[in-house]
């Protein structure tokens, strides 16, 4: 394993700084460095990875035992070793094939829950299940992190497929989020889903109480308009939610991997069970591709290897996700949790310090908006930011096809500009034509130089449908898995979120004036005093 890392570092030292553009001379680099899966293509030709580099990266995957570890995950081995759990979100989208774990076919319960979700969604959407003022017009999903980001991202992404009630999301414990979301909603025709794997998350439980009180002011029996999605059945019943509207799942579905099951109920209500099932089929298609395709043509493996090349080998600390697809505007936020909560670790599975950096900082915004905001830094800043473009061949607005063309041309132009740049000679020529001469010409030309040689990849698909969204999300999930395996970390725990939660609980009575702040650092004491006015 170390040998594979060392060989990659040596290779990087030898090729660092060479023009990526030169790699296109001779041979069909574009074809060689593009892979496809069920109509989706991943073009990583605009990176400094050459045949030798790719070969070494593939060796890294082999040396990490990726094939065996992939099998272990799909088969339900307890690969989440720090929590002693299997990692089986893939079973949620492959329910038709039996999967025996600890002597039991886990898909039986999954199919049962899926059938109950489907029946409930149908009842709500057709008016068989009503609120106390008539047919459900609005659904409010209360959850945070993995119980919010996935469905919120997907509901937005699949807007053209909405044919059910309007779906809203409350996540932040900031009362502003509940207040702004509830304003204008009719409690008598609103269904509330409390989505929490643990049913203990303070933000979600606080918002659930708030929304129940809002409903109680207008509705005789608020609990009748509440549903719950959780692994903690006893807690949902203690909250007063009838068991027929509680949709459970197992602890081997991680929060940030949970939108394929009951956590996706809000999405199912928005797009209907058929649309939701198409989303599951897209995920299953990517699973099949990931399981069966040789590493050299395997999208999740390649995506992960490109990521490792840029972060751990080249040392680029961040990665920009740039969907040229407005409806994917929440994808970067979703990926922040998926990637950073999964692979933002500092020790290996055995507890030893990691000898290299773990996952990068993931950020982004949709194009073309980002072009008018932060692309300046991407093109001319001193740090290299590898960019990931996502783009559809077709939009959903046939009468606005000319706008889609403009969108695609901008996407392609950005990756071209990053690759090609603009030399000092080119910039000088442009400024000469504007009449500049001498020192002023030189000064102005230097401001207009684009260094170029900045890597990007493009993920391209025909159209953003439920199936394609399923492919995209499963692709990123498996990328995280592959990166985690190669780095030797546990991608499925999240101990790093615990300390802040504990300290917040301890600070609450101090802010209420019920406890003094002795033992706190000076800054925190000062801020508590400020907050108390
Ligand atoms: O605090 C982090 C976290 O545990 C995430 O991993 C999870 O998705 C989120 O909180 C919400 O947790 P729950 O679904 O249990 O409310």
Residue 10's pLDDT is what? 97
Q: Check: CB of residue 390 under 8 Å from CB of residue 328.
A: yes
Q: Check: CB of residue 360 under 8 Å from CB of residue 308.
A: no
**Average pLDDT of the chain?**
97
User: Helices marked H in 186-298 — which ranges?
Assistant: 202-216, 233-238, 265-292
pLDDT in tens, 264-294: 999 999 999 999 999 999 999 999 999 999 9
Place of tokens 């706008």: 403
Which pLDDT band holds residue 26 (cuts at 50, 70, 90)? confident
Tell me the CATH number for domain 94-276.
Answer: 3.40.50.10490
Report d(CA 35, CA 51) in Å as an integer: 14
pTM over 0.95: yes
Q: What is the helix, strand, coil percentage profile of the chain, to 5?
A: 55, 15, 30
Q: Which helix or strand (DSSP H or E) is residue 192 part of?
A: strand 190-195
pLDDT in tens, 41-75: 999 999 999 999 999 999 999 999 999 999 999 99
- What is residue 103's DSSP assignment? T
Tell me whether the CATH fold assigned to 2-63+293-420+454-493 matches the one assigned to 94-276. yes
Strands (E), 384-494: 387-392, 456-461
Which pLDDT band holds residue 1 (cuts at 50, 70, 90)? low
Report in angstroms the alpha-carbon separations of 441 from 245, 381, 427, 506. Answer: 71, 22, 9, 62
Residue 40's pLDDT is what? 98
Query: Which of ligand 1's atoms lies nearest the C-alpha of 263?
Result: 14
Å from CA of 147 to ligand 1 middle: 7
378 dihedral zone (left: phi>0; alpha: psi -120 to 50; beta): alpha
Q: Which of 250, 255, 333 to mutate to test the pocket of ligand 1 (most atoms within 8 A of CB)?
A: 255
Q: Which of 142, 145, 202, 229 to mutate to test the pocket of ligand 1 (most atoms within 8 A of CB)?
A: 145
Å from CA of 79 to ligand 1 middle: 19
- Could you give the percent of the chain with pLDDT greater than 70? 100
Domain 2-63+293-420+454-493 has CATH 3.40.190.290: no
Q: Is 255 in the pocket of ligand 1 (CB under 6 A)?
A: yes
pLDDT in tens, 509-529: 999 999 999 999 999 999 999
Å from CA of 245 to ligand 1 middle: 21
Q: One of 372, 433, 447, 514 is an active-site residue; which one?
A: 372
Q: Which of 83, 87, 89, 146 to mutate to test the pocket of ligand 1 (most atoms within 8 A of CB)?
A: 146
Tell me the CATH number for domain 498-532.
Answer: 1.10.1390.10
pLDDT exceeds 70 at position 421: yes
Report d(CA 1, CA 65) in Å as an integer: 10
Q: Check: CB of residue 12 under 8 Å from CB of residue 52.
A: no
Q: Is 468 in the pocket of ligand 1 (CB under 6 A)?
A: no
pLDDT in tens, 454-494: 999 999 999 999 999 999 999 999 999 999 999 999 999 99
pLDDT exceeds 90 at position 244: yes
Q: One of 203, 250, 341, 477 is an active-site residue; which one?
A: 341
Query: Which of ligand 1's atoms lies nearest the C-alpha of 146?
Result: 8
Query: Which of ligand 1's atoms lies nearest the C-alpha of 255?
Result: 8
pLDDT (mean) for 182-194: 98
pLDDT in tens, 428-442: 999 999 999 999 999
pLDDT in tens, 373-415: 999 999 999 999 999 999 999 999 999 999 999 999 999 999 9
Q: Helix, strand or coil for residue 329? A: coil
Q: Taking the domains of the chain in order of start, what are their residue ranges? A: 2-63+293-420+454-493, 94-276, 498-532
Q: Check: CB of residue 113 under 8 Å from CB of residue 261.
A: yes
Question: Is 501 designated active site?
Answer: yes
Q: Is 386 in the pocket of ligand 1 (CB under 6 A)?
A: no
Q: Check: CB of residue 180 under 8 Å from CB of residue 207.
A: no
Q: Check: CB of residue 187 under 8 Å from CB of residue 219.
A: yes
Residue 364's pLDDT is what? 98
Report d(CA 479, CA 516) in Å as an integer: 47
Q: Check: CB of residue 451 under 8 Å from CB of residue 413.
A: no
Q: Check: CB of residue 145 under 8 Å from CB of residue 157.
A: no
Residue located nearest, by CA, to atom 10 of ligand 1 = 145
């Amino acid at each position: 394993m170390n040998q594979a890392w060392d060989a990659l570092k040596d290779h990087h030292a030898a090729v660092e700084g060479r023009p990526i553009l030169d790699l296109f001379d001779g041979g069909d680099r574009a074809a060689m460095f593009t892979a496809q899966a069920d109509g989706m293509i991943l073009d990583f030709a605009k990176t400094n990875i050459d045949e030798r580099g790719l070969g070494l990266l593939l060796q890294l995957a082999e040396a990490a035992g990726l094939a065996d570890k992939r099998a272990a995950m799909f088969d339900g081995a307890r690969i989440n070793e720090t929590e002693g759990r299997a990692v089986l979100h893939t079973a949620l989208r492959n329910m038709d094939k039996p999967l025996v774990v600890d002597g039991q076919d886990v898909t039986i319960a999954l199919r049962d829950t899926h059938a109950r979700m489907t029946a409930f969604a149908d009842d709500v959407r057709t008016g068989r299940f009503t609120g106390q003022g008539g047919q459900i017009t609005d659904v409010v999903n209360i959850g945070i992190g993995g119980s919010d980001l996935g469905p919120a991202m997907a509901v937005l992404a699949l807007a053209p497929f909405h044919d059910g009630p309007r779906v809203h999301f409350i996540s932040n414990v900031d009362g502003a989020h509940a207040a702004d979301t509830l304003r204008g909603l009719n409690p008598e025709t609103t269904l509330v889903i409390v989505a929490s794997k643990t049913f203990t998350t303070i933000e979600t439980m606080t918002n659930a109480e708030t929304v129940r009180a809002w409903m109680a002011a207008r509705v005789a029996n608020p609990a009748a308009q509440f549903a719950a999605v959780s692994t903690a059945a006893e807690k949902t019943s203690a909250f007063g939610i009838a068991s027929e509207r509680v949709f459970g799942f197992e602890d081997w579905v991680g929060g940030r991997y949970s939108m394929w099951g009951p956590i996706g109920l809000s999405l199912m209500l928005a797009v209907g069970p058929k649309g939701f099932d198409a989303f599951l089929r897209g995920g299953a298609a990517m699973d099949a591709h990931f399981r069966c395709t040789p590493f050299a043509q395997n999208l999740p493996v390649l995506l992960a290897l490109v990521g490792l090349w840029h972060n751990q080998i080249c040392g680029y600390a961040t990665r920009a996700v740039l969907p040229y697809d407005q409806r994917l505007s929440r994808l970067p936020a979703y990926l922040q949790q998926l990637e950073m909560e999964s692979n933002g670790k500092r020790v290996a599975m055995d507890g030893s310090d990691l000898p290299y950096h773990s996952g990068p900082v993931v950020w982004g915004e949709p194009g073309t908006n980002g072009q008018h905001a932060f692309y300046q830094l991407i093109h001319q800043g001193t740090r290299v930011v590898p960019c990931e473009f996502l783009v559809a061949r077709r939009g959903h607005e046939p009468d606005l096809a000319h706008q889609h063309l403009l969108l695609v041309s901008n996407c392609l132009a950005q990756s071209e500009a990053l690759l090609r740049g603009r030399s000092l000679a080119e910039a000088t020529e442009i400024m000469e034509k504007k009449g500049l001469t001498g020192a002023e010409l030189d000064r102005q030309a230097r401001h207009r130089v684009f260094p170029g040689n900045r890597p990007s990849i493009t993920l391209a698909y025909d159209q953003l449908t439920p199936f394609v969204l399923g492919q995209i999300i499963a692709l990123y999930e498996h990328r995280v898995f592959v990166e985690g395996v190669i780095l030797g970390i546990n991608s499925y725990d999240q101990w790093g979120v615990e300390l802040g939660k504990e300290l917040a609980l301890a600070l609450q009575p101090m802010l209420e004036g019920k406890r003094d702040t002795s033992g706190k650092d000076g800054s925190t004491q000062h801020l508590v005093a400020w907050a108390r006015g």
